[in-house]
Amino acid sequence: MSEKVIDLLNKARSSELAAILQYMAHHYELEDADFGKLAKVLKTVAIEEMKHAEALAERILFLGGTPTTKPDVETKKGQEIAAMLATDIALEAGAVKAYNESAVQCGELRDQISKDLFDTLLGEEEAHLDQFQNIKDHVDKLGAAYLATLAGGDAE
């Protein structure tokens, strides 16, 4: 049981590491292009993903495994804002799908703690997905007028 659960947890951790790197790359690029308000959103989500990666690592260690340190996809750089958002939406949609499946599998394997972890992460990933989809919808519908509202600001 534990080996299968550890594999599920490590797969999730690998996805979280990829998301962290992607969102931070977008954060830096957006900040550099003076889209500080949007950059701040990406930085905030990246930090939440770091907390997810840490929670997964702690569970893996508890079960006797070794947390992976390798992201599952390469970071994309130099994208336009709409493409950035599409990339981010794909990462979050993938996480939602995978975490739903992983929660079910952990339940079947009678590991309620890991199931609960996936359920918690799932809710947070759905919130990220919704946030990115809403921003992309605004960009698609309002274009440059909406992007102007994201310019400037402090990206702390």
91-149 pLDDT per residue, tens: 999 999 999 999 999 999 999 999 999 999 999 999 999 999 999 999 999 999 999 99
Nearest Cα to 127, choosing from 154, 156, 149, 99? 99
Output DSSP code: residue 14: H
Fold entry, domain 2-71+78-150: Ferritin (1.20.1260)
Overall size of the chain counted in residues: 156
- Kindly report the pTM of this predicted structure: 0.93
1-60 pLDDT per residue, tens: 689 999 999 999 999 999 999 999 999 999 999 999 999 999 999 999 999 999 999 999
The answer to whether 16 and 56 have CB atoms below 8 angstroms apart is yes
Q: How far is CA 91 from CA 9, 62, 71, 75, in A?
A: 17, 27, 12, 11
Query: Structural domain boundaries of the chain?
Result: 2-71+78-150
pLDDT classification of 154: cutoffs 50, 70, 90: low
As a whole number of angstroms, the distance between CA 30 and CA 24 comes to: 10
Output DSSP code: residue 151: S
62-78 pLDDT per residue, tens: 999 999 999 999 999 99
pLDDT at 155 over 90: no
- Judge residue 63's burial from the number of C-beta atoms within 10 Å of its C-beta, 0-12 exposed, 13-18 middle, 19 or more buried: middle
